[in-house]
Amino acid sequence: MLNTRKGIKNDRVNDIINSFQILFESESGYKISKNSGVPYQTVQDLGNRKTKLEDARLRTIIKLYSYYVSLKERYSCANKVVL
């Protein structure tokens, strides 16, 4: 049972890491910084892998992930057809 929980946690962490890769590939550092509230240099350092995600502050990770989720929701809503 414990291994299952670890697997779930690892899957969730991998999902978050993948979301950052998608975010950094799809948006400019300036736009991410402006819309997430994370300093530009921090975004650049994470995007260029000068700073590891594991070394980032939790509040930075939360802000970036929240921004990613908001973009994901915005794009999924924009693609829905209203009848």
CB 61, CB 53: distance < 8 Å:
yes
The domain locations on the chain are 2-78
pTM higher than 0.95: no
Nearest to 24 by CA among 74, 65, 75, 70: 65
pLDDT of residue 1: 39
Mean pLDDT by 10 residues, the chain (83 residues): 58 90 95 98 96 94 96 79 48
CB 20, CB 64: distance < 8 Å:
yes
Q: How many H helices and E strands in the chain?
A: 4, 0
Q: Find the Cα–Cα–Cα–Cα dihedral 61, 32, 43, 73, rounded to 10°.
A: 30
